[in-house]
Amino acid sequence: MMENKFLIAEQLPFCKGCGHSTINENLEKALQKLGYSPLDVVVVTDIGCHGIVDKNLYTHTVHGLHGRSVALGSGISAALGNKKKVIVMLGDGGATIGMQHLIDAAHRNFDMTAIVHNNMLYGMTGGQPSEFTPPGFKTPTNPEGSVKPHYKLCSLIVEAGASFVSRINGIGDFSDHLATAISKKGFSLVEVMEICPSYGVKANPGMKLTKLVQEADLDIKVFTDTEKKSFNLPKNTEKQFLINENDRFDAEFSHFLNKSMRIMIYGSAGGGVQLAAELLATAAVKSGLQVSKKGSYPVTVGIGFSAAEIILSPDEINFTGSPEPDHIIVLTEDGKEYARDVIASMDHGTIWVDTSINFSHNKVEVRPYNFTERMGMKSAALYSMFYLADQTRPFLIDALISVYNENKLSQKIEVSKFLQFI
């Protein structure tokens, strides 16, 4: 087990001497000691310097909005029925902005571990004080030293009802301590004290972490270590867990893929792009393929582009991005504009393009087709899915017909309409 690597690079992306590196090195050791494999673990990071570690981890990673990582982690832990170890990494800035989420996660005792990187300032934005900056601590925006009283995070979280709460200095090997926190049932929080070399050390020359922590009256200790029932979704919750062994089913149709197929579809709001992609994805699932589907559209959902990304694969999909799609479908000018960079970098595969669009490409095959002319703007996306499935045959077209017929749209437009030209 000890050979399990969690950190991809030896050199983490933090400034020299940053305590965030020490935390990650200790986290790797702790997880190794506990016998975890990287994919047993979901690391949720927050916004801030600490959060840029994502791409250096072999674990599952989710990058949250500032202060919201704990809420995300709580949801993930509950929805996975505690089947994965959820570890949330956040700064004192994220803890400030998301204090209510921390208190609530502790109160409900979600099964997860929060590691608060308390360097006593907002690192990524240049050193503003947080609500956990002790009085007197200087930061670049507060050169006279912080004057307002600080919150004591551990006391708040103990009061909220967590299973395990501790504060440590982020120096040396504290992997055993992290391992203890991570192995607790319910909510555990470790507040790791650090000084940011780039802003904290510069603003407080000669300041030693241990002395500073002591003078700020921040006890280094385990505040609570109890056995408590962790949060579980109520038994009658309809879809109880995202991972449910009983959800497995036998494929109804055959597929013909021996490697993954990455498809992107670009159209406009109101063009049914998301539904079309969803139906294709569902048909692939029914054909025994592994599938991922993502949608992108502006927050003003009724206007502008609408794009979907689908990966079909006979094997497990560990990365859901499509940097090199095999098929791109371009239905509208909005879609074309949004897809500009992906199209420009394409050097293999096929671009299926609506004949209403002026289009050329010097590296890959372009196949014009009159999707909108034949089926109208609203059904062109769906039609393109039938067409693509017929032309490329990742699975039997019968799978898509079956999925479409289960959708209420089939009562308005008969499936034969989509099949008449293919």
Ligand X SMILES: Cc1ncc(C[n+]2csc(CCOP(=O)(O)OP(=O)(O)O)c2C)c(N)n1
Q: Cβ of residue 131: shortest distance to ligand X, in angstroms?
A: 10
Between vectors from CA 248 to CA 247 and to CA 253, what angle results, nearest 5°?
A: 125
- Please give the Cα distance from 14 to 72 (Å, whole number): 24
Q: Which one of ligand X, ligand SF4, none is in contact with 14 (Cβ closer than 5 to 8 A by kind)?
A: ligand SF4
Which of 125, 141, 183, 260 is in the footprint of ligand X by CB under 6 A? 125
Per CB under 6 A, 304 contacts ligand SF4:
no
Site string for ligand SF4, 43-82 (x = CB under 6 A): ------x---------------------------------
CB 418 within 8 A of CB 407: no
Total residues interacting with ligand SF4, rule: CB under 6 A: 12
Q: What's the full length of the chain, in residues?
A: 422
Name the segment binding ligand X (CB under 6 A); options: 121-129, 136-144, 174-182, 255-263: 121-129
Three-state SS at 119: coil
Q: How far is the CB of 127 from ligand X (least distance, A)?
A: 9
Size of residue set near ligand X by CB under 6 A = 18
**Mask: binding to ligand SF4, 83-122, rule CB under 6 A, as x and -?**
------------------------------------x---
CB of 179 to ligand SF4, least distance (A): 24
- Least distance in angstroms from the C-beta of 379 to ligand SF4: 51
Q: Report in angstroms how near the CB of residue 126 gets to ligand SF4 at its nearest.
A: 8
Whole-number minimum distance, CB 249 to ligand X, in Å? 41
Amino acid found at 34: L
Note whether 67 and 100 are within 8 A (CB).
no
- For residue 198, the partner it binds in ligand SF4, ligand X, none, with Cβ less than 5 to 8 A by kind, is ligand SF4
209: nearest Cα among 418, 416, 18:
18
By CB under 6 A, residue 123 contacts ligand X = yes
Instruction: Show Cβ contacts of residue 58 under 8 Å, excluding neighbours closer than 6 positions.
Output: 5, 6, 7, 8, 38, 39
Tell the residue number behind the tokens 């049914």, with chain if given.
272
Q: What residue type is assigned to position 400 of the chain?
A: L
- In angstroms, the CA 95 to CA 33 distance is 27
Please state the closest distance from residue 79 (CB atom) to ligand X, in A.
24
Taking CB within 5 to 8 Å according to partner kind, which of ligand X, ligand SF4, none is near residue 129? Answer: none
CB of 154 to ligand X, least distance (A): 17
Nearer to ligand SF4, 164 or 199 (CB): 199
**If binding is defined by CB under 6 A, does position 150 make contact with ligand X?**
no
User: For ligand X, which is the closer residue by CB, 17 or 270?
Assistant: 17
What is the smallest separation between the CB atom of 115 and ligand SF4, expressed in angstroms? 14
Dist CA 236 CA 218 (whole Å): 43
132, burial (CB in 10 Å: exposed 0-12, middle 13-18, buried 19+) = buried
Alpha helices in 81-236 (DSSP H): 92-97, 99-108, 153-160, 175-182, 202-203, 209-215
Spatial separation of the C-alpha atoms in residues 36 and 31, rounded to whole Å: 6
DSSP class of residue 247 equals G
Helices (H), 62-109: 69-79, 92-97, 99-108
Which one, 67 or 335, has the nearer CB to ligand X? 67
| Six token digits for residue 299 | 């927050």
What is the rounded CA–CA span in Å between residue 398 and residue 402? 6
Residues in 8-67 at the binding interface with ligand X, rule: CB under 6 A: 46-50, 66
Stretch touching ligand X by CB under 6 A, among 86-94, 141-149, 243-251, 277-285: 86-94
Distances (CA, A) of 170 to 25, 190, 353: 11, 10, 56
Residues 177-196 that bind ligand SF4 (CB under 6 A): 196
Q: Which does 134 bind (CB under 5 to 8 A by kind): ligand SF4, ligand X, none?
A: none
CA atoms within 13 A on the CB side of 253: 21
Residues lying near ligand SF4 in the complex (CB under 6 A): 14-15, 18, 20, 49, 119, 123-124, 196-199
Residues lying near ligand X in the complex (CB under 6 A): 46-50, 66, 91-94, 97, 117, 119, 122-125, 130
